Amino acid sequence: MIKLFRRRAARWLLIVCFVGIPIFIIFNSLDFGGNTSTKLLHSSLKTRFTDSKHRNLNKVFAPPDTCPRIGEASADINTLEVFKNFNFQPPWASLRSFWDQKFEERYLLRKTKHKNLPLKVFLMFWSHNDPGWLKTAEEYYTLQTGPILRNMVKKLTEFKRLTFTWTEMSYLSMYWDRATSDEKRVLKELIDENRLEITTGGWVMTDEASVHLYAMIDQLIEGHQWLRHHLGVAPESGWSVDPFGHGATVPYLLRASGLEQMIIQRIHFAWKEWLAAQQAGDFLWRQGWDASSEADILCHNMPYDIYSIKHTCGPHHEICLAFDFRKIHGELTEFSVRATEIDANNIRDKATTLVEEYRRTASLFPHNVVLVPVGDDFRFDHSQEWDQQFKNYEKLVDYVNGNKDIYNADIKFGTVKDYFKAVREWTKDFPTLQGDFFVYSDVFSDGEPAYWSGYFTTRPFWKSFTRETEAVLRNAEILYTFAYQKARQANNKRYEDLLKLTYKDMVISRRNLAAFQHHDAITGTSKIRVTQDFGLKLYESFTRARKIQALAVQSLIDAKSESDNGPLVSKYSLDDGIFVLHARDRAKYDQLTQQVPIYVQTDGRKIVIFNSHAHRRVEPVYVLVKHSDVVVTDSDGNPVRIQVNPVWNMTKGSPNLLVSSTQYELILLADLAPLSLTTYYLKRNADQSPVSLKTSVYCNFVGNRDAVVDNFKVQIVPDGDVQLENPRFRLLFSGNTKLLKRVFDKRSGKERKVQLQFGQYATAPYQSGAYLMKILRKPVHPDLGSIPKKKVEQPVDSLGRFVPGEEGLPFIDPNAVPRVIITSGLLESEITVIFDRHLLYSMRVYHAVESPTVDAIKFTTLVNLADKPDPHSESQRFNFNGIDAFVRFVTDVDNGEKPVFYSDANGYQMMKREKIDAIKVEGNYYPATTAAFIQDPSMRFTVLTSHSRGVTSLRPGELELALDRRSKSDDSRGMGEGVTDNVLTRADGWLLLEERSGGGGDAGGGGGAGKYSDVALSFPAQHLSDGLLYAPAVYVLDTAEDVRPKANEMDFLPLLQVELLQRSEPLSCDVHLLTLRTTADVRGNFSEPGKEALMVVQRKGFSCSYGTLSGVPCAVVETAAVYSNADLGEAQVDHVEETTLTGMESRGKLSGISALKLGPMELKSLKISFV
């Protein structure tokens, strides 16, 4: 571990280089993955001492010998195959509208040929309200959204024909909390009358690229449960018009939640033209694995560029502008200048013009039904706009409907579901579509394609923090459900009351996390001060959820919890009584989480480890201790395998690294039962040689060159290439740069090329920013992200300016000598390389053959583009303004001359991608939420990542992942400023080299779309990814004697095993318990917990063609049952019923959890009702 102190005045930079979590930066802590969670299932609770035999580390479980079949869907439209054949520089681009002569001629032909074809139009009044963007959510609510919602209730009451549509539940809940009883009653009546439609019903309109499945579902559940409790309504239609590209996950989640239809907006301009030309704008969106087509959902693509009134009435923007009747005193806009009030003198001409635009829109579909949204961002925030829009449109509606002989049209005020109902009455024959709509591109600015691929990576610190907060909240949900139900059923008022008090913390944590999934939050596309507000709210979620965890763990392991109902300390003061502490902490919202040093008393110290997975896990666990002579034992007093690593200090005044004498990294190999809390005992062993002496340590800039430095044998890094080795791999690193070059796979006996590169792209000012990515291809000045000419082998012009190509520029100085630390011990070997202050990376290999970690390579980066380099620093050669930094792996995998690669969608499914030369670097970057890989018929190279980022493969054998980006300039997409608030960011991941073991399908780089079973992640990759996202959570037991179990009561808790899920067998290894969240009291007190919990279960489809993983401690059940043999057991659960995904609608009671049938890739929910 290395601590780096940064000094400016008198500031220090502390880097902690961990072996298992190799590099810790203590002022920002580098450790990402310690706080985790997964979900549970409550069949019964039982606290007991466990027979340690079930944790025999010598037992190696075989990998799955069954391969559940994944369905193979077929569809009329495969987005990958269609997309790569588009013309990405169409002749109409400069006009910014695809409507050309061929569309006009088709419209005129249809008009002539079908004179009697009636036109049906629905005018949908609505308002798009971002819960944070240029202002914070609270500022927007005060200034605009609050008035919109108050006027909505008032004006819909006044105008009986008017309808309205609302989407964001976060804002509706704010209105509800402030509304009078009469306003609430009227709101419910408007919904009952079908005049107000609630669409989607999520807490926010979620981003679809960067959000992980857990958070995406959780915000949907939060919104739907709020609707259920307060309004008694379930959404029927999805409305997702502002996310910057649309993925395949949201359609599945909406359909699984009971929605029937959905609307999308922002897709590539070439898709807009193609769907219009094919009259395929209404289609059934099909999942690639869904052979049954049961998950199909009817989707409508809004045919024009954007959702404003200017772009919704028809193809001619200048015409549509004349029908936006908003005129607010003091506003001067393009529509307020053009629009004139409808009167007797102009109504005929206006109506004729408008109906012609509507008919043009109808010609883009095989039916004659048109949906015309009337609204925009924060529209209807003034009472007079309601009057202006409704009264003018009412005149036009009445005039057109009253002149059927002229217009043969029927125009109504309506909602999304009204549109779909009319479409279904017209036709039931829709084309099917498989795939997604990334990358989004527009031609707004200058008629040139602008690719919205920058936001996949923008502000990666917050993308990482939200993933960590998801894990923390998930742990809290699981532990809380078990703890609260146990305390309630045992009539333990002390813990029941305390846990009931913290339910409000749970609700706040859920909602703040949900708010961050908004498409201008996690994307990094809000103003700096709004981003800070999002960050503070995320930090509040983080801290409140950790507080809940500590109390829940305490209640589950407290020996007095079943017998003593007296007050813990104070009924209203939780912190004073909690004796369970977290082993990791985050000092500030904008700093990384770090390990908290543990002091081990003379009589020892206990740590409790929570495995939130429903499967046994055998993996290394990291803690920070203040002693080097610590040993660890289990319940029987048996020693546990450990490794002790040094913690390094470095000051800015010297390049030398110093070993700390007060902090040490302790790694223990933990064997964790499914859904369990396991206690390990730390004690001092001063009579024997410190365990640290068994760890070999090398450093090329060590400050103390004694033979033994603070109990470590520190040696100088030898010259030449460096090797790391474990039972599976031998890694070779360059002697000069210390970058990975090759990997020898001992299992196959083959040596593989795996070269590690760090690079950067110079980005175009004003064309690249928070949203957009635009790589410079013209000569640029060196201070736009380059290093001196003599250092880089790049072509230059006569002025010495670089002309970067698609390979980018170096992100490290190849001539500089990096600081290197190599550590090797019983459990792992690691190399950490520090390239000045802006980049640090490490790679680790693990030695325990009984753990799946032995078959992969852990990879960590620390990137700091935070501010202008220190003038005394080596990095003064770099200017970080206007760059996109990346890491690239160059392998010998043959993924095609036009490289094919695969990136995951929201941690749910893998999507096939193919490089398209015409759209350059920026058009070939795609979102990767948790994973990406390249493969050929014999080999697959996979990178698992701890948070979302952009990914691409630009040349054969390469896989490139973005690290961070910085831009001083705005990209003209509304944010109004650049991205300059970078902070130190950590990314963790795994590298897997997997040989193909059999099976057919499209495993190579070319060909068609391929079978999904061949493009899914392997079983080993999914197992490691779950561990990366939801690692064991470690708690330290405090010494408060008034609340700690006494030694004579429970044998000092040598190994207290709280089996949260009592079962005869664990879940099938491919079944993931996504969440178990306690729902609010259904009796009406929604601020308190109830007797029900919603459990969401996911069965992950995996490829059996790649990967053989020794030591996977669970098995796969071939049948569709969640368990091979399971029962809820005992009487704590009253009944279980299957529901829609968000728990809104029952699908029938089950005899038990084992009765739930779950096919590969499916998500299902159970409502568990406790006695």
Residues labelled as active-site residues:
242
Q: How far apart are CA 597 and CA 1, in angstroms?
A: 13
Query: In the numeric block, which tokens belong to residue 644?
Result: 């002790």
**Which residues, in sequence order, are CB contacts of 160 under 8 Å at separation 6+?**
none
Q: How far apart are CA 79 and CA 32, in angstroms?
A: 35
CA dist 830 → 667, 826, 953, 991 (Å): 13, 12, 27, 14
Residue among 1128, 1096, 1103, 1087 nearest 500 (CA): 1087
Write the secondary structure of 1030-1081 as one string of H (helix), E (strand) and C (coil).
CCCEEEEECCCCCCCCCHHHHCCCCCEEEECCCCCCCCCCCEEEEEEEEEEC
How many Cα atoms are found within 13 Å in the side-chain-facing hemisphere of 294?
Answer: 9
Angle between helices 213-230 and 249-256 (to 10 degrees): 30
Peptide bond into 439 cis (omega under 30): yes
Q: How far apart are CA 161 and CA 377, in angstroms?
A: 23
Q: Are 370 and 120 in contact (CB under 8 A)?
A: yes
Q: Are 592 and 30 in contact (CB under 8 A)?
A: yes
Q: How far apart are CA 240 and CA 1111, in angstroms?
A: 43
Residue 666 has what DSSP assignment? E
Q: How far apart are CA 1081 and CA 1085, in angstroms?
A: 6
Query: In the numeric block, which tokens belong to residue 1008?
Result: 């068609």
- Write b or e for each residue in 131-145: b if 16 or more Cβ atoms lie within 10 A of its Cβ, otherwise e: bbbbbbbeebbeebb
Measured over the CA atoms of residue 284, residue 289, residue 295 and residue 301, the dihedral's sign is negative
Three-state DSSP at 173 gives helix
Three-state DSSP at 861 gives strand
User: What number of other Cβ atoms are within 10 A of residue 102's Cβ?
Assistant: 10
Q: Are 837 and 6 in contact (CB under 8 A)?
A: yes
Q: Are 901 and 952 in contact (CB under 8 A)?
A: yes
Residue among 58, 64, 1114 nearest 669 (CA): 58
**Which residues, in sequence order, are CB contacts of 627 under 8 Å at separation 6+?**
599, 600, 664, 684
Q: How far apart are CA 1149 and CA 1166, in angstroms?
A: 9
Beta-bridge partner residues of 1093: 1078, 1168
Q: Are 1091 and 1169 in contact (CB under 8 A)?
A: yes
Q: Is 734 left (phi over 0), alpha (psi -120 to 50) or beta?
A: beta
Which strand (E) or helix (H) includes residue 921?
A: helix 920-923
Three-state DSSP at 217 gives helix
Measured over the CA atoms of residue 1147, residue 1153, residue 1155 and residue 1161, the dihedral's sign is positive
Q: How far apart are CA 42 and CA 478, in angstroms?
A: 9
Beta-bridge partner residues of 48: 1057
What is the residue whose two structure tokens read 């920002």? 28
What is the residue whose two structure tokens read 């008032």? 154
Q: Are 555 and 476 in contact (CB under 8 A)?
A: no
Peptide bond into 1171 cis (omega under 30): no
Measured over the CA atoms of residue 1067, residue 1073, residue 1078 and residue 1080, the dihedral's sign is negative
Q: How far apart are CA 472 and CA 595, in angstroms?
A: 15
